[in-house]
Amino acid sequence: MSERTILYIEDNYLNRRLMRKILESQGYKVLEAEDGLKGFEMLSQLRPPLVLLDIGLPGMDGLDIAERAKADESLRHIPLIAVTASAMRGDRERFLAAGCDDYLSKPIQTNELLEKLNQLYPTEVVEE
């Protein structure tokens, strides 16, 4: 993948549209999956450099996706950022325990999002 690519697994259309707008304005290419099964399939087949992951998803939820990805040697290096409105006490720990590398809360704060991407996006991927 020569472009700066991010896979966003999210069932809500408005969230996908907003995220695409923000990320494309920063030069990222956005791949989208609207349910968990499709998302995991894309993650394992395409092995994108970074994944943004909704937790509440039809098919397979975000925690299942994280657990399966981190149990797979060929996928576990891919950074997973959970993106969810869930803000109950202990949620962050639960996401991290499932294998997420970081966590962002909805509604998306553009600055916070871009900061996390700068931290977690693999630097060996050459920007063209």
Q: Does 54 bind Mn ion (CB under 5 A)?
A: yes
- Strand 102-105 vs strand 28-33: parallel, antiparallel, or unpaired? unpaired
DSSP conformational letter for 107: S
Measured from the CB of residue 79, what is the shortest distance to Mn ion in angstroms? 20
- Give the position of tokens 């408005």: 14
Q: Does 56 bind Mn ion (CB under 5 A)?
A: yes
DSSP H helical segments within the chain, as ranges? Answer: 13-25, 36-46, 62-70, 91-98, 110-120
Chosen residue from 11, 61, 91, 102 binding Mn ion by CB under 5 A: 11
Q: Which is nearer to Mn ion, 11 or 91 (CB)?
A: 11
Measured from the CB of residue 7, what is the shortest distance to Mn ion in angstroms? 15
Residues that bind Mn ion in the complex, under the rule CB under 5 A = 11, 54, 56
